[in-house]
Structure 1
Amino acid sequence: MQALLSKYNERVSFGKKLYENSRDFYETCNFL
């Protein structure tokens, strides 16, 4: 159960990182 939870947390943080990166990229494109 604990392993499953940590795997889920890893995915969530990875998703957040992806989202932030894409948002930064989008804002940069809009700026240009």
Structure 2
Amino acid sequence: MVLRRLMGLFLAAISVEFIARGIWNIYLSMG
């Protein structure tokens, strides 16, 4: 189904953004 594929892409984008934000916070805290 197309809807299921879109939901998968949506969840993947959210998880990627969450991981990138966590890495960015670690990078900022390390200075």
Taking structure 1 as the reference length, what is the TM-score of the superposition?
0.86
Distance in 1, Cα, partners of 2:17 & 2:28: 16
* 1:18 aligns with one of 12, 17, 20: 20
Q: Which runs of 5 or more structure 2 residues have no equivalent in the other structure? A: none
Q: How many residue pairs align between the two structures?
A: 29
Please tell me the root mean square deviation across aligned C-alpha atoms, in Å.
Answer: 0.3
Taking structure 2 as the reference length, what is the TM-score of the superposition?
0.89
Percent identity of paired positions between Structure 1 and Structure 2: 7
